Chains A and B, each alone.
Chain A
Amino acid sequence: MTAEAGRASPRVASLPRVLGPIRPRPRWQELRLLVLVALALGIGSVSLGATMTGTFALHDPWGLGIYLAALGGAHVAQVLAGRRTDQILLPAVAMLGGISLLLMERLPQDLVVQRFFGASFGLAEVQLIWLVGAILVATTVSIVVRSDNWLRRYKYTWAAVGVGLLLLTFVLGTEINGQRLTLQIGPVSGQPSELLKVILVVFLAGYLSENRALLVEQDTWLGPLRLPPLPYLAPMVAMWAIALGIVVVQRDLGAALLFFGVFLALLYAATGRVSLVVVGLVLFLLGSAAMANLFDHIRTRIDIWIDPFSDPLGAGYQVIQALHAFARGGLLGMGLGGGLPEIGGRPPIPEIHTDFPLAALGEELGIVGVVAILGIYLVIIQRGLRIGVAAADDFRSLLAIGLALVIGIQAFIIAAGNLKVLPLTGVTLPFISYGGSSLLANALVIGLLLALSDKGVEPPPRPTASSRWRRLTRRGPD
């Protein structure tokens, strides 16, 4: 550990040095991978064009051009910034975003129509705007963020902001399809739970890095279970309550599952205590059982999951149509633009652009495509975890691991819902689903991961956990 360096670095030095002297540093690996991504997307676009219009040309050269130019810009910005950050994350995410763009170009454009500044934009155009915005956010965050103090020191403030967002959604949220997920302020609307997941990870990383030693070293016996000191389990119970609260208030099963999953995985990563995970899972199952008994919509979801074919034209319709889409796709798929038979001008799955993009890709790119996409998510997870393990201190480690888990677990939950491995819950498929909140929040995650991967900057502050440890044990750290 760098206790010496930590002590030596004065607090004032943590002022952001946004525009220091420009020292470009080439990023050949990133460039090579980005060229590969551009090639793959170009081929995909030609394939889409061939199917949709019958001509051997790019389907939408302007859209793809803008997207690739934005990626190029992001790369140049990283080179100019000269930070020694990860070079694989950006191309991996760029591939997913490009697949998203091709998919949105391929779906009926009137699925979403938004008006910005008097002009109206269709599905692919809106998604392209968000994708470029996401690239901007990720790049800016990865270049500008050189200190983590603003996250580290105010974890309870962040937690309060998170709970505030949740309450605000509850009070002011707009109800869509029986779910109160969307917060509309003026012309801007968004889903706060997307931002909430980042805040949650920041809080958990802060809390766990401070209390890790306690959670690991001290024991309380609860019957046969060896547990950490009970007071330190309070956040766990709070998390459990928040997750259930989200289910009750927002009717958002997916977010609850995601938050709780990230929480348990991070808790295990920090403490290595299986007993905690077991208690967490038991609490979760009890909570789920109670919820299923109390709320019809949750029971319906579970019934659909167990046997969607019992009501193929009613409740189980979307889930079954998704399975049919995978079946039609088979091993190699129908080709971009070749699947998704429209009945009366509509795609077979109503929520295809938000909840079922994987089913659409399964049909058009086949199992081969699905496995490749799952592989890209694993690459992102692997990079994130790697950044976490290599980070300079516990807070940064846990933050990076948590951010990677957010992407990975969210992708798993919705993919599993599409494939009938888990009940369907309405979370987005990161970087692929349509939606601004989702893209921007996930871009923020990638930006933070990139910033955390830079080992060349400011060392972390001296651990503060020791002070609490000292108070508790009445012994000095040295």
Chain B
Amino acid sequence: MLGRTGASRPLGPTTIHVALLLSAAFGILAGAAGYWGVLRAPELARSPDDAAVIAASRTVPRGRILDRDGTVLARNEPDQHGELYRVYPSPTVSQVIGYASRIYGRAGLERTYDAELTGLAGDPLTDAFAKFGAERFDPKDLTLSLSYDLQRAAVSALGKRRGAVVMLDPRTGEVLALASTPTYDASRLADPATAAATFEALRDSKAQPLLPRATLGRYVPGSVFKIVTAIAGLGSGAITAETTFKEQPRSERNGLLVEGFRVRDGHHPETGSKALDLIGATEVSCNIWYALTGLETGGQALVDHAARMGFGAPIPFDLPTAVSQVTNGGGTDPGGFVDDVELANASYGQAETFVTPLQMALVVGTVANDGELMRPRLVTALTGRSGTRSIAPESMGRVLSSTDARAINAAMVKAVEGPLGRRFTTGAKVSGVTTAGKSGTAELGGSGEPHSWFIGFAPADDPQVAIVVLVEQAGRGGEVAAPIAGRLLTRWLKGGE
């Protein structure tokens, strides 16, 4: 009987276990289908690797890109097989628009807005009912805040030198010009006939023409960084516009001794014996006053105020941005500074401080807009079959009080229009318009020529445009960058809107 009981032990329970296990396994499959089909779907279905995106990119006309006046900055041409490729009006916009190439993928706005330009519907509800629609693709035209006219002027002002110009409307964050030189001809990259040779030449070029310097180039700021120090000093309450330092006149001749390091200064024999305040120190770009302000403010407050303007993280923008830094954060002092020497040097932009031109545009835009920072943006509207969607201005928050912003504004006016300031900012003034600004000469150490900087805005009493000019290794800020800024500000205020 033993054998019979063993053999006839019912199979039911174990079979149910197997059934439950299989059901659970199929449940996992259903879950996985939901994961890929719903949770990960927006990202996958809009990726440039997606077969539908690739197929559409060859047949569905990509949306156009227009400047603020309606000038076409990117359009389509059919090749000999009837498949479309992109054509751009001139190399001046390549660093902004980027390219859409069948072989080399996408860059610039063509990359950021690939899904919109291709016309893949973005929202999950439309996607879910895609099968009931007649046409899946709704390519959007992008309207930019960029002025093609101003952009061309900026590129031609930089000329053969390497550098960048950022111009924006501080009240709305609309970027008006975003020039990086050298430029490249994106049309030749997009045209399948010339793409390969063009790309190889560009990739191998020492001048790095594919690098958008305005957004991805990181530079020593030099004296233009003093505006950040002023914002932190006033914003944290460490100083007022009237603050003077006893040590400053004493140290003019031999330098200010900070923990054994001498902060030197030497631009201004006329004011050497005077104790300067914010306006005076900004007019003559006094390193010692700013070093003392930085020490008074403290590393933590300096880094915190810089972070409110975008330092320490990629700037939320329509193009990829490099991270700007006040310090590399390797030290143990507040804010990550190594010691007071680094803090003192950082306060006038000569330590481990690296900034992108776009970041400096946010700094100067904050001052121009009475202390409130607007998110920078290029795309102002998306227009498709389903209508036009406008992108509204968006605040990134108040960085400092309106009173403090006006004090810095006044100091920057003095730096352009004051009898002494004029000497450092030759040609920056727009005739007949009160102009504010600050030049910078960023020493690189070694024997190289310094980077030439200018940041500013106009009109000072009602700022409509802020500008950052950087020219790599071109010499003193007042001599190279300032005149470029003056020409471009004049063109925008007198020749534009």
Contacts and interface: CB of A to CB of B under 8 A. Distances in A.
Contacts of A401: 11, 15, 18
Contacts of A419: 29, 32-33, 36
Contacts of B41: 326-328, 330
A440 interface: no
A268 B37 contact: no
B45 interface: yes
B2 interface: yes
A58 to B, nearest CB: 19
B3 interface: yes
Contacts of A415: 29
A212 B47 CA distance: 55
Contacts of B128: 330-332
B42 to A, nearest CB: 8
B245 interface: no
Question: What class of interface size applies to chain A in its complex with B?
Answer: 35 or more
B51 A323 contact: no
Contacts of A327: 36-37, 40-41, 43-45, 50
B313 interface: no
Interface string A325-362: 11111111111001011110000100000000000001
Given A216-B9, A338-B131, A412 B22 contact: yes
Interface stretch (B52-60, B356-364, B371-379, B451-459): B52-60
B33 A473 contact: no
B127 interface: yes
A381 B45 contact: no
A326 B4 CA distance: 52
Contacts of A475: 2
A478 B3 CA distance: 9
Interface string B1-34: 1111011110111110111011101101110111
A288 B434 CA distance: 77
B393 interface: no
Contact of A466 (B7, B14, B54): B7
Interface string A358-389: 00001000110011001001100110010011
B25 A412 contact: yes
A217 interface: yes
A341 to B, nearest CB: 4
Contact of A268 (B14, B130, B136): B14
Contacts of B204: none
Contacts of B40: 323, 327
A213 B54 CA distance: 61
Contacts of B13: 272
A381 B19 contact: yes
B19 A420 contact: no
Contacts of B58: 343
Nearest to B52: A341
B49 interface: yes
A421 B34 CA distance: 12
Looking at B2, B33, B38, B44, the one whose CB has the most chain A CB atoms below 10 A away is B33
Which label, helix, strand, loop or mixed, suits the secondary structure of the A interface? helix
Given A341-B55, A385-B18, A412 B29 contact: yes
Contact of B33 (A212, A367, A398): A367
Given A213-B7, A268-B17, A327-B36, A389 B30 contact: no
Contacts of A420: 32, 36
A284 interface: no
Given A216-B6, A216-B9, A324-B49, A362 B37 contact: yes
A331 B30 CA distance: 12
B8 A343 contact: no
Interface size class, chain B: 35 or more
Nearest to B44: A327
A217 B15 contact: no
B406 to A, nearest CB: 52
A397 interface: yes
B426 to A, nearest CB: 53
Interface in B308-322: none
B1 to A, nearest CB: 7
A112 B196 CA distance: 36
Contacts of B129: 332
B420 to A, nearest CB: 59
A312 interface: yes
A469 interface: yes
B131 A343 contact: no
Contact of A366 (B1, B17, B37, B136): B37
A321 interface: yes
A320 interface: yes
Contacts of A397: 11
Given A216-B9, A343-B55, A419-B29, A378 B23 contact: yes
The CB with the most chain B CB atoms within 10 A, among A213, A312, A412, A473, is that of: A213
Contacts of A409: 22
B55 A342 contact: yes
A366 B54 CA distance: 21
Contacts of A102: none
B3 A466 contact: yes
A405 interface: yes
A388 B14 CA distance: 12
Contacts of A313: 49
B14 A421 contact: no
B124 interface: yes
A74 interface: no
A465 interface: yes
Nearest to A313: B49
Interface in B200-243: none
Contacts of A271: 14
Given A374-B30, A465-B7, A385 B19 contact: yes
A266 to B, nearest CB: 8
B37 A367 contact: yes
A374 B7 CA distance: 34
B446 to A, nearest CB: 40
A342 B3 CA distance: 63
Contact of A330 (B12, B56, B130): B130
A242 interface: no
A269 B11 contact: yes
Given A324-B47, A342-B55, 18 more contacts: A214-B6, A268-B17, A313-B49, A326-B37, A328-B44, A332-B128, A334-B130, A334-B131, A341-B52, A341-B56, A367-B34, A374-B29, A378-B26, A415-B29, A416-B28, A419-B29, A419-B33, A465-B7
5 contacts: A209-B7, A330-B124, A374-B30, A389-B12, A419-B33
Interface of A: 1, 209, 212-214, 216-217, 265, 268-272, 312-313, 320-321, 323-335, 338, 340-343, 348, 362, 366-367, 370-371, 374, 377-378, 381-382, 385, 388-389, 394, 397-398, 401, 405, 408-409, 412, 415-416, 419-421, 463, 465-466, 469-470, 473, 475, 477-478
The 7 closest A-B pairs by CB, nearest first: A213-B6, A348-B51, A335-B131, A327-B44, A341-B55, A469-B3, A419-B32
